[in-house]
Amino acid sequence: MSKYWEKETPKTITTAKNVLHYYQEAEQLAVARPSWTDNDGKERQGKTVTLNVEALLESDTSAMREARAIFAAIVDRIAERLEVLS
């Protein structure tokens, strides 16, 4: 796979405990811990894992249904929180 992170600017969302980078064209969602500063004063990227959305879409129906249920539960929690904050 090419270095999509060098070719595409992701949509980035930063929270107190997570940094999300969504590369829509590459179909990759990276979830990282926040950046940190090492002993030499250099900023370092937090540990990161990446969800390959394209690979998920190539999965069997059962896996996709389970993934959809997980993402739907997350969306529901976000909606609930937004209602509280409104």
Domain parsing of the chain, residue ranges: 4-85
- Encode pLDDT of 1-58 as tens digits: 579 999 999 999 999 999 999 999 999 999 999 999 999 999 999 999 999 999 999 9
Cα–Cα distance for residue pair 48/36, rounded to 1 Å: 13
CA dist 6 and 28 (Å) reads 13
| pTM exceeding 0.75 | yes
* Distance, CA of 24 to CA of 10 (rounded, Å): 7
DSSP H helices, 1-86, are 4-7, 53-57, 61-85
